[in-house]
Amino acid sequence: MSEIMIDASDGTGRFKALVVEPKAKPAGAVVVIQEIFGINDAMRATCAEVADLGFIAICPDLFWRIEPGIDITDKSEAEWKRAFELFQTFDQAKGVADLKATLAVARTLPGCNGRVGTMGFCLGGRLAMLMAEQSDADVNISYYGVGLDDLLGDLDRIRAPLVLHIADQDQFFPADGRAKLVAACQGKPQIHTHVYPAADHAFARVNGVHWNGRAATIANGRSAEALVAALG
């Protein structure tokens, strides 16, 4: 694992991004989009898994404008409180801008074949859908994104494949919103929705409190297939 610095597109500063490289290159790259806990052990493990699949993983510090280097877990009440404070303070539009800057840098990384996708979790799952609507990423994958029913007005802007992993017991995404999302995506061949029975929010968070091995394994397999198809 290594770190690189990326210039913010608005000229306000630079932010770090974790990079994990695969054994063989050239390779496609995946921008891994963090949860509300920052770049923590779960995100580092996810980046390692992406690299093991044969892709360059790059995970930018999206909370750098608030506090660089956030690294907390879902294991304590204090950490949850801090995570929600970060979520409420976070500027999503600037986050998307930082992700676009990361995407552009990823395409030029040594050994990258020029194809880059995104894969996000929780807050990152929402941002992955925004990237599907607003960027030129080659594929976008969203795990249990929050409030995705608020983003349906721009579905027609999506051109690249978008994979949506949805937990049917998601405590942070009410059932009516999930149903609205699935219905709106029907008939759009570039959008693939998958609902996981008996799975709660963050079912694929490595070592997370809501880990669901069956749902995570199935979802991760679908993600791998989508990445291989789009990125080579």
Which residues carry out catalysis?
Answer: 170, 201
Which residue bears the tokens 């992700």?
99
Q: What's the sign of the alpha-carbon dihedral 223, 35, 203, 73?
A: positive
Tell me if 144 sits within 8 A of 203, measured CB to CB: yes
Report the DSSP beta bridge partners of residue 71: 38
Structure tokens at 196: 């996981």
Report the DSSP beta bridge partners of residue 30: 57, 117
Which residue bears the tokens 């600037």?
94
Task: Report, in this order, helix, strand and coil percent for the chain, each rounded to 5.
Answer: 40, 25, 35
Structure tokens at 124: 């990152």
